[in-house]
Structure 1
């Protein structure tokens, strides 16, 4: 750090923790451990945490030119079983890959540079991401779980929750433009965490949020969850074969290409080189080709680097073709309820949309509808609409919030039609080019001359199509297992996107998460 500056020693590895001391430039410290951006150190008689990037191996003001080594520590690679940690030539994802370290492998830690640490492993010195190291062997019975990393492994994603209202930004910077503001307790899908920023996905939108406001623990509530199993005379493999006849689509980023196919052009970007290459749904040649090849010169974004089951290094990539034919393995993944039922967010694709959430109108007005434009204070109308039409209240409210832009749309706030002001809260009939006029005409024909009438009357049409046909979960709307099991073919499915039901649940979860009292009924399919 600059001359005249001081390094703050804090009680915890957080900018908000109390200050223990202010360390001058050149002061000698003993380093106990490094985790992410923070180093646990002893300075004099005080033990605390400092930003690791402001530590160096030698006294910056020494004239002797001799190094005073920072105390080394021993750590262990802590990634998921079957994953590997890449050792690089420099503290960057663009650094050359020197080795692929196994889970539990012991490394010697020297210094930190932001989220990276300099280590020695197998006699090779290089850099790894500190968040994938722990103080104890993750597979040892005596491992100290409190020190194990909770970050996502290089080839996986995790669900985390926001601990405050915060901005979702287009880039990892406070100067990047804001996509939307996320409420406290929002569930997000985390792809990566680096330099204090997390790359996340919420409702199909990908952006960046501060890692300081993320937690792995969902909020505890008084909600009651009931699970019902529904058995089908159908195997997952048979069900997948039925679906494959109807060209299911995916925009998943689970796409992999061997690293020697890519010439790096930046830290996370590259172009295909040396002809055309197959891409696969997993890292390694044993995984399925997805029916596409990337031609030389195709630009790709590199999401992660993993060791393939064939011994080669592979890149998980995203590229500029949005929709792709799904493989059978990918279809089976989304068909299989066991992949989602234990996840408090993704399990809501099995939410029985015809079951009551048993909500309190006052709580809904205060915690969900406050500040939502024309919908503010309308909880009683939603609860009445839900009861009269046999629709889950949260699902109905989520639908209205989406269609009205949180109560701000022109149709929601009233449109003159044949001399009367009419309202449309679900976008019913708003199609065929002139959405506002067509939606207003539909509202006029059905007498929706007050916001309450539009909320209650429009709910009938929400329930009449899929819910009325017995497809009363998002999962059944997408896959319709009743028809598949009875007739052996696919019919009356809402979307071709295999991840459609998976993607719809974020808003439903986040609305439930705002409340303290509610009921959830899940109907989970069970296949042979």
Structure 2
């Protein structure tokens, strides 16, 4: 009983040692379980695992029954190998003596496999290949280890070469600087091989031979490409010859009907040769000579077989269809040679020459018999003249009363030719022509010497000009400072001439007129090209106008919509011009001024006739309001129109709204939001103003429940008061409140300083700033002066002389003195405070800054305002285009009060030097 128990325990122990630890937990039905000689795996839910199972770092495969697979398994179209313990194999597997390779995925590899840098080939069965493998048309060799071979491989006594990619090589192979040849089966060849049209020799080790090579007692030469040489070879400064079999030749050979001699070393021979008791001569190209031959200037005769026969020759010697001449000393003649009083020429090789020959700088002509000719000779298309020495003449020569010119090559020239500074024309026979000649399109005149005339030439009444080439010029031509025109016959013209689209005038000397011409009492002008001018002309800084006929115009001219005026001299006038008591102004471009024009900073007005308007120009502008409607709007404002007309009248307030000062019964504080001020001690009296809450009031007297108080000088105007100032009809004579302020008066700074500001306090000497302001902001400087003088009390007000400001809008600021020349924002109820703080904000820290800055604001905010354009005092005060809006002052008489100052200032200007422009409103 004890023994059986021991056996069971031993078996279980052995099994447990072969599988993971959790296989021993089968009793719990979780993990591995060995049943009926098969292994199973129970999952945590108690079910059997099926398919792939990953457990403790290894893969297993459980079939559809849950049984663990071992050995080869074909799963999903792929092969896997599972070890006897069930683990899936990766990498190399040896099975039944054959090697397989399993990828990391466990799939069996086929085809090429790279492992640890080496290539292997696995058959479709997965078995590792050894020996030869054919893949995609290429052969590979696998060592017994399965590794793919590269480089040289010895198989069955034959050498093969495998490229780095493993492919078997065929044809030429370069390895370590040496060439080999592998046949179509890949085997390395040795001995003679024919590749293409060339033969090669491969040593026993397969390397290709180059250079000299001896085989079977025959010498060959293999080029650097390995190809066997045939025919001629130039090698190390010698010529060799190889037959069609590549054998190097020696002795006599014939090539292309010429004979050559090669010594025992195969070297081609040159020069004299002694062979088998005979003498031969071989040229530098190795060819054996025969017949008459000149060697080093000496004549020799050789047989047809090339054997030397003799060399004693005197006199004429013919060789290769050429004649030579040897003197009595056997010396071959060269160069010019006289033989029996005849001149011949032999070249540097001794050959007698014929035809035209240049000897140094001279030319000779030798006839067919070799003798030099003399006299005139036509050679081809060229004419020569050979003197008694046989040399061709050069330069000008008279031959039989005809003049010829022979060039440096001895040829008689034809056509035009220049000799020194003279021009000649030689006809088709080479003869120089004389007299008048029409050559091509041009006319020439050649004197008795044959030279062409140049420059001006007078013949009778006709004038010609011949250019530097001798041709008579046509058309315009300048000679010195004069211009001429030569017609189609070369003759200079005179008088009026129309050439092209222009008219010209040529005087009696044929010279073209430039500048002014007086003819038949009329003036004409010709520009620098001689063209008669029409239209506008500027000459010596003056402008003229020439009519279509060319005649200079004088007097008034209407052109292109403008009038111009030309003096009796024809010069166009500019500037002021007076005629029959009327003044005109002509701009710098001569155009007569019309309408409104600014001249030297002054605005004038000219009628459509151009005449200056001496009186004012009045424009009437219609507005869509009645005077009563204007007044309704004005009296709806707070405050309504103000006036100082009632400054001395008494003013009253009701006592219920006053709290008196206990210490000073003449002072009281307003206790209501608004306390009306009236003309008398009753509500029946007209309201003339008001106090606001907490205002301090000075009490003058008591009248019942009412108190007389100090108030003014500004009080509410009556409707009738305001009507007077609103109605333009009340100011028919005093138009200056309607003066257009956008137009300058043109007054100078000096005039302003001397005549206007000399006694105006702080404004004294500030004239240039008013002029500058007028120009910079297009605003009337007279108005600016009147405005400033009025607002500053002739330059003496506090705002004009400077106010120290220490706070703005109740906040402390850096203390600075400010100036305000136009009362900008100096409201009646806070003139000093409001005006000085406004100046501080605008940076008016000097009188000039206040003048320029105020003018800019007036221009931008009123005169040139983008919406209102309030360019008159009236518009600034009442704004008839949009009453009640953007009005400059509350004083109903503000505009009228400026009139006297403006009018007085204009009276300082000379009358007639300016034009006044008025814009008067018209109400419905």
User: TM-score band (shorter)?
Assistant: 0.3 to 0.5
- Name which structure has the greater RCO, CA cutoff 8 Å, separation 6+: 1
Relative to its length, the structure with more helix (as a share) is 1
TM-score by length of 1: 0.38
Which protein is richer in strand relative to its size? 2
TM-score by length of 2: 0.23
